[in-house]
Amino acid sequence: MTSTLLGNNISEVEVTNVSKHGFWLLFGDEELFVAFSEFPWFADAPIRQLMHVELPQPYHLYWPELDVDLAVESIRNPQAFPLVAHY
């Protein structure tokens, strides 16, 4: 999440909902679904850790407590990124 000083929240990425199948990210004006079947390293993560997502660079997401980096494009089109890390 990103915000500015003086109380103006300009969140650029936010987890908006979590289900047993995955979670939704609000990225700018786009909502993306992150399926646990496609991104299994999130499946057992506590909600607090899922919610702590950062945008260190445009179109690059980072969950520091989970040490997970993802390109936004890999969420939009997971079939184009066939290499999945196994844990």
At which residue do the structure tokens 């999945």 appear? 84
Domain ranges of the chain: 13-80
Cα–Cα distance measured from residue 80 to residue 4, given in angstroms and rounded to the nearest whole number: 34
Q: What is the pLDDT of residue 5?
A: 38
- pLDDT-derived band at 79 (thresholds 50, 70, 90) equals confident
What topology does CATH give the domain 13-80? NE0471 N-terminal domain-like (3.30.2020)
Q: What is the pLDDT of residue 82?
A: 74
Mean pLDDT of the chain: 85
69 φ, ψ to 5°? Answer: -115, 135
In degrees, rounded to 5, the angle at the alpha carbon of residue 42 between the alpha carbons of residues 38 and 43 is 85
Q: Which residues contact 43 (CB under 8 A, 6 or more apart)?
A: 36
Q: What is the structure's pLDDT at 8?
A: 41
